[in-house]
Structure 1
Amino acid sequence: MTNDYIQALTIAGNDSDGSAGMPADLLSFFRRGVYGMGLLTSAVAGNSYQIEAAEIMTADFITQQFKTLAKDFHIRASKTGMLANAEVIETVAKNYQEVDFGPLIVDPVIITKHGAMLLEQEAYETFREKLLPMAAVITPNFYEAQKLTELPLADKSEIEHGAKLLQKLGAKNVMIKGRHDDAEQDVVSDYVLLENGEHFWLTEPYVHTNRVNGTGDSLSAVITAEIAKGRDVATAIKIAKKFVHQAIANPIEVGHQFGPINHWAPTDED
């Protein structure tokens, strides 16, 4: 039957080197057995050294993509990635409320995993007010969680409290990703707080490598794919954590400097 095949959507930017953004999302969807679609919000000219140019899609074009997809497909879950400014965030939030594209997994893309701010303050405030409350699952990195909760997140108890604050802001399920920028660390621990109050930590060994581009994109994309397939949120998150760890622990040599994770690395579910 038409549209019986499981479909998921990424609402994100395109990285021309394929390491992150929409390409990483689509690779993750494919690896998890889901047909992936891409709603383009921006595009960058980049390689493993740097980003050299960027373009942001217009609000009208983003809106038209929503309308065009909604006419034809049965999208069962979606995720957001890079939404570059306040207008793009508002446009995505407004249009998402007018279509049925399933639960929305929000990868904030506010601050890099090294702590550099990616959004202007106006865009950040728009994200916090308009998009965060729509999240079935939100997956901030450590620095994004600090910004969103306005807490230092200095220890486990404060991280657990921060997850509750994110729920108060509207997100149903929260995954606060652990720091992974300390050369001395041995593990990476992520904290998960579910809508029903269940909570747990997920820990994997820390891998010392510069092949980590697309880590957050891929994690949220695997969660999206698994939810589209009918998995519960806890299971989807656990699968995604394992998937990304294996993709980092089995690197591929693409590019001369900061490379992608390896989406072809085998996992327990293969």
Structure 2
Amino acid sequence: MEKTHKALTIAGSDSGGGAGIQADIKTFQELKVYGMTAITAITAQNTLGVQDVYPLPVETILNQLKSIADDLPPQSLKTGMLFSSELIEAVSDSIKTFNWGNVVVDPVMVAKGGARLLQEEAVQAVKKNLLPLATIVTPNIPEAEVLTGRQIFTLEDRQEAAKVLFDCGVEHVVIKGGHGQEEMAVDLYYNGIEFETLSSPRIHTKNTHGTGCTFSAAITAYLAKGCTVFEAVEGAKRYIHMAIKHDLHIGSGHGPTNHWAHRLEGVKLG
């Protein structure tokens, strides 16, 4: 019997279904990985924005993680919205205790409109507690600026920021290029030795809600199936490009990406 690969997401719930837990689970399913969740917060949101956030007690989140550890240990996991330094420290301790496999850190720090989502002490907790556990961290440019305290304008700036993040204890870094100014969307990958760039045609659309969650979830799924980190990043780049290209045109604001878009192009994802 073929082995079932398992992946876990530790993140917030998006009632609009485009980001967070919902985007992660959809991505895991499309990539043929069994998905599990530890929900950190319940949000009231849609394509127009976030109307309210209801954080869950840290104890409730830790109990979810223990239940998974007792019966369904994942081959890989990702973290998304972790709303406080207390939660970041607690989740980090759990990851160390349970000694799970690959850890993908999607540092959800900056909202679509540019607003900071984490207070400074929580940012420091990410750097001190979570990044040293990360197989890979996947910030966009604004998030990389927050984590490194550097302004990023050029590809060379991104390379310097990647080095700073690597020095925090991360094994691999990918700084996403969606906020860049290049004609192509250029993601920068760094493994502590060499840089690689992954480029795709830039798609001009407002419907990009959940792209960061979906990209990091795809990396998590590929890692659960035994891919190398760079193979996982390459696969996730292809997956998210198709999801943006064939967006769903729903909602009145920033609409979600299309998690089944690869099927529209007849692409078979292993």
- TM-score w.r.t. structure 1 length? 0.94
Amino acid at match of 1:186: E
Q: Deviations over 1:68-113 (max 9, x none)?
A: 1111113100000000111111111111111132111000001235
Return closer, same or farther for 1:115/1:256 CA change in 2, 3 Å cut-off. closer
Contact 2:7–2:36 (CA under 8 A) maintained in structure 1: yes
**1:137 match:** 136
Amino acid at match of 1:124: V
In structure 2, distance between residues paired with 1:160 and 1:263 = 30
**1:39 match:** 38
SS of 1:144's partner is helix
**2:189 match:** 192
SS of 1:75's partner is coil
Q: Which residues of 2 match residues 80-91 of structure 1 at below 5 A?
A: 80-91=79-90
Q: Which residues of 2 match residues 10-29 of structure 1 at below 5 A?
A: 10-29=9-28
**Do residues 251 (structure 1) and 250 (structure 2) align?**
no
Amino acid at match of 1:249: K
Q: Which residues of 2 match residues 89-168 of structure 1 at below 5 A?
A: 89-168=88-167
2:227 pairs, out of 228, 231, 243, with 231
Q: Which residues of 2 match residues 195-234 of structure 1 at below 5 A?
A: 195=192, 197-234=193-230
In structure 1, distance between residues paired with 2:178 and 2:256 = 19
In structure 1, distance between residues paired with 2:248 and 2:214 = 15
Aligned length: 266
Return closer, same or farther for 1:181/1:156 CA change in 2, 3 Å cut-off. closer
Contact 2:180–2:186 (CA under 8 A) maintained in structure 1: no
In structure 2, distance between residues paired with 1:160 and 1:53 = 36
In structure 1, distance between residues paired with 2:179 and 2:202 = 7
SS of 1:79's partner is strand
- Measure how far apart 1:114 and its partner are: 4.5
In structure 2, distance between residues paired with 1:269 and 1:150 = 40
In structure 1, distance between residues paired with 2:139 and 2:111 = 10
Return closer, same or farther for 1:144/1:186 CA change in 2, 3 Å cut-off. same
Instruction: Give me the CA root mean square deviation.
Output: 1.7
Amino acid at match of 1:215: T
Gaps of 5+ in 1: none
Gaps of 5+ in 2: none
Return closer, same or farther for 1:14/1:258 CA change in 2, 3 Å cut-off. same
Contact 1:112–1:143 (CA under 8 A) maintained in structure 2: no
Contact 2:140–2:179 (CA under 8 A) maintained in structure 1: no
SS of 1:98's partner is helix
SS of 1:17's partner is coil
Amino acid at match of 2:190: L
SS of 1:44's partner is strand
- Measure how far apart 1:181 and its partner are: 7.2
Amino acid at match of 1:161: E
In structure 2, distance between residues paired with 1:114 and 1:258 = 11
Return closer, same or farther for 1:48/1:181 CA change in 2, 3 Å cut-off. farther
Amino acid at match of 1:255: G
In structure 2, distance between residues paired with 1:155 and 1:80 = 28
**1:262 match:** 258
- Runs of at least 4 residues off by over 6 Å: none
Contact 1:113–1:141 (CA under 8 A) maintained in structure 2: no
Amino acid at match of 2:10: I
In structure 1, distance between residues paired with 2:261 and 2:190 = 28
Return closer, same or farther for 1:143/1:214 CA change in 2, 3 Å cut-off. same
- Measure how far apart 1:204 and its partner are: 1.0
**1:70 match:** 69
In structure 1, distance between residues paired with 2:112 and 2:16 = 19
SS of 2:131's partner is helix
- TM-score w.r.t. structure 2 length? 0.94
Amino acid at match of 2:189: V
In structure 2, distance between residues paired with 1:113 and 1:159 = 20
In structure 2, distance between residues paired with 1:91 and 1:58 = 11
